[in-house]
Amino acid sequence: MNLKLPGVKLVPVSGSGPNGRVQLTDIRSKLGEIRGEVDETAEQARPVVAYAAVGGVVLLVIVAFLLGRSRGRSKSSWVEIRRL
């Protein structure tokens, strides 16, 4: 079966089966390679994501504090007591 899709470049594939056919073991080994690369990339990116999450939480707390502080100043009333 020969499917032609626009924009997709076909790559010749040869498997380990008879007449170069792709076997289930070929697919499993290739998926294992891809999974290993993804796991390595995820392990490398994990500390960066953790630092970004901590920074985002700190920034959110600071912004909430400043907004609450400015709102509190605008809504608070000043009471002046004078001696007679």
At 3-60, the pLDDT tens digits run: 677 887 877 777 877 888 888 888 898 898 888 888 888 888 888 889 999 999 999 9
Domain count, the chain: 1
Asked whether residue 42 is domain-assigned, the answer is yes
The rounded radius of gyration (Å) of the Cα atoms in the chain is 31
Asked whether residue 79 is domain-assigned, the answer is no
In the prediction, which pLDDT does 58 show? 97
**15: exposed, middle or buried (C-beta count within 10 Å: 0-12, 13-18, 19+)?**
middle
Global confidence as pTM: 0.46
Asked whether residue 2 is domain-assigned, the answer is no
Residue that is written with structure tokens 């009333």 in the block: 77
Asked whether residue 82 is domain-assigned, the answer is no
Asked whether residue 9 is domain-assigned, the answer is no
CB atoms near residue 7 (< 10 Å): 4
Asked whether residue 46 is domain-assigned, the answer is yes
Asked whether residue 27 is domain-assigned, the answer is yes
In the prediction, which pLDDT does 2 show? 64
30 — phi, psi (to 5°)? Answer: -65, -40
| Selected residue with higher pLDDT from 63 and 77 | 63
- Cα–Cα distance between 52 and 39 in angstroms, integer? 20
Domain limits for position 22: 18-74
